[in-house]
């Protein structure tokens, strides 16, 4: 049954940073639609955890890198909730095999770009059309779109060239959509995390433990999914007005240059 409760769609929302965002929004009373590529049975623990904090999220198993997957996310969201108030483009994959760019292959490159760049660009297009219709019927409606990028959009990793390219490109994607959607009452932001503890960083924990201890970040600790979640929740609440198109760096001071 469609609801007037605020609805947030989070891609990649059942693990890592996406789950950290979902936890914060669930506590604040959002109706959640989570997307991932795994079957719903594989994310049951995450859904059960969130259901203990509020209404059980609606889950859409779909590949955001495909047109059919993106259509499924929007169609199911509108069918289950009747509206979209916020879209958090969080889903992403790292570079398969972390190959040196001299050995990178086109198949992996295309896969990373489809998930990390084409997916959020065109999912935003679909969600924005729904938000524009909502704004036309309610002048007080203010939609939100957030792109989750990465420190890797600025710090070079030659064994993850495709991943770095997609995250750098999201900075421009944010500005493009902010410029296009401002007249329709839709705010667009980029949130750029630093080193965040998640399943994506599991295999490199020892390396980052050393780097952080040696001063990689001003705050000598790992970032946690909750750090990103709190930033996104703040944006969706509207606590940062007059700032569409801006980037929040959630990185413990990693970008601060020192002498």
**In the block, which residue shows the tokens 């760019």?**
101
What percent of the chain has a predicted confidence (pLDDT) above 70? Answer: 98
Residue of 59, 163, 189, 208 marked catalytic = 163
Question: Is the pLDDT at 65 greater than 70, yes or no?
Answer: yes
Three-state DSSP at 165 gives: helix
For the question of residue 59 being annotated catalytic, the response is: no
Question: Is the pLDDT at 174 greater than 90, yes or no?
Answer: yes
Q: Which residues contact 232 (CB under 8 A, 6 or more apart)?
A: 21, 24, 25, 88, 146, 148, 191
Q: Which residues contact 41 (CB under 8 A, 6 or more apart)?
A: none
183-239 tens-digit pLDDT: 999 999 999 999 999 887 877 889 999 999 999 999 999 999 999 999 999 999 999
235-253 tens-digit pLDDT: 999 999 999 999 999 999 9
The whole-number pLDDT of residue 1 equals 37
Q: Tell me whether residue 66 is exposed, middle or buried, using C-beta atoms within 10 angstroms of its C-beta: 0 to 12, 13 to 18, 19 or more.
A: middle
The whole-number pLDDT of residue 147 equals 99
**This prediction's pTM:** 0.96
């Amino acid at each position: 049954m469609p609801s007037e409760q605020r609805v947030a769609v989070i891609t990649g929302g059942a693990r890592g940073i996406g789950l950290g965002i979902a936890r914060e929004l669930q506590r604040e009373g959002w109706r959640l639609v989570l997307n991932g590529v795994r079957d719903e049975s594989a994310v049951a623990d995450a859904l059960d955890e969130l259901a203990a904090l509020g209404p059980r999220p609606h889950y859409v198993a779909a590949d955001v890198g495909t047109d059919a997957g993106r259509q499924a996310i929007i169609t199911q969201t509108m069918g289950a909730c009747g509206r979209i108030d916020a879209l958090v483009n969080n889903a992403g994959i790292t570079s398969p095999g972390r190959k040196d760019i001299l050995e990178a292959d086109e198949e992996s490159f295309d896969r990373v770009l489809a998930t990390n760049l084409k997916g959020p660009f065109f999912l935003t297009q679909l969600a924005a059309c729904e938000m524009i219709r909502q704004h036309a019927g309610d002048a007080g409606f203010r939609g939100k779109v957030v792109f989750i990028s990465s420190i890797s959009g600025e710090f070079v990793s030659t064994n993850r060239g495709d991943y770095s390219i997609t995250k750098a490109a999201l900075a421009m994607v944010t500005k493009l959509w902010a410029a296009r959607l401002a007249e329709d009452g839709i705010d667009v932001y980029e949130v750029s995390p630093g080193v965040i503890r998640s399943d994506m960083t599991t295999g490199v924990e020892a390396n980052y433990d050393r780097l952080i201890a040696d001063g990689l970040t001003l705050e000598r600790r790992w970032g946690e999914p909750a750090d990103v979640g709190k930033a996104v929740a703040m944006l969706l609440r509207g606590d940062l007005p007059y700032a569409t198109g801006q980037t929040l760096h959630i990185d413990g001071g990693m970008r601060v240059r020192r002498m």
